């Protein structure tokens, strides 16, 4: 706010003194209080905006803070355990002798039905283009 002006807009020193703001007329103690109130109000707005943002994006903040949900941690531990078992074994993980017997039995059935090839590898296919005869079109 600007104090009332008596119409003098020139370069005189009296006109400048009269155009002081309300803020400048307050004592220093009140000015400091106003500044601090505005800062606290501004900081509380920022704090509330940040807290709302963090609450809405809890999944992203958990990853950012390197904290995992207990269920996620258990799931990742099981996946890592399976990976180490898979690397150490040549075939399927946690199978007993029954699995190997069933596999042998099914491979034997396949060999009897479809031939004597190796049933554990993908077959090679060779396709040859058919040879066509050229027939002359009769002229009419």
Which tens digits make up the pLDDT trace of 4-23?
A: 444 445 555 555 555 556 66
Report d(CA 24, CA 31) in Å as an integer. Answer: 8
The string of pLDDT tens digits covering residues 67-98 is 668 888 899 999 999 988 888 887 788 888 89
CB 120 within 8 A of CB 103: no
Whether pTM > 0.75 for this model: the answer is: no
Contacts with 22 (C-beta within 8 Å, 6 or more apart), sequence order:
1, 3
- The widest CA-to-CA distance across the chain, in whole angstroms, is 118
């Amino acid at each position: 706010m600007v104090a009332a002006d008596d119409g003098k807009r020139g370069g005189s020193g009296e006109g400048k003194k009269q155009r002081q703001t309300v803020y400048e007329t307050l004592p220093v103690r009140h000015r400091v209080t106003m500044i601090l109130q505005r800062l606290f109000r501004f900081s509380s707005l920022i704090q509330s905006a940040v807290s709302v943002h963090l609450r809405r994006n809890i999944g992203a903040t958990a990853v950012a803070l390197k904290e995992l949900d207990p269920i996620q941690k258990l799931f990742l531990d099981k996946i890592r355990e399976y990976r180490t078992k898979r690397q150490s074994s040549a075939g399927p993980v946690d199978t007993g002798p029954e699995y190997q017997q069933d596999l042998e039995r099914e491979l034997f059935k396949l060999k009897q039905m479809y031939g004597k090839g190796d049933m554990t590898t993908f077959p090679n296919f060779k396709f040859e283009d058919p040879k066509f005869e050229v027939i002359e079109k009769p002229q009419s």
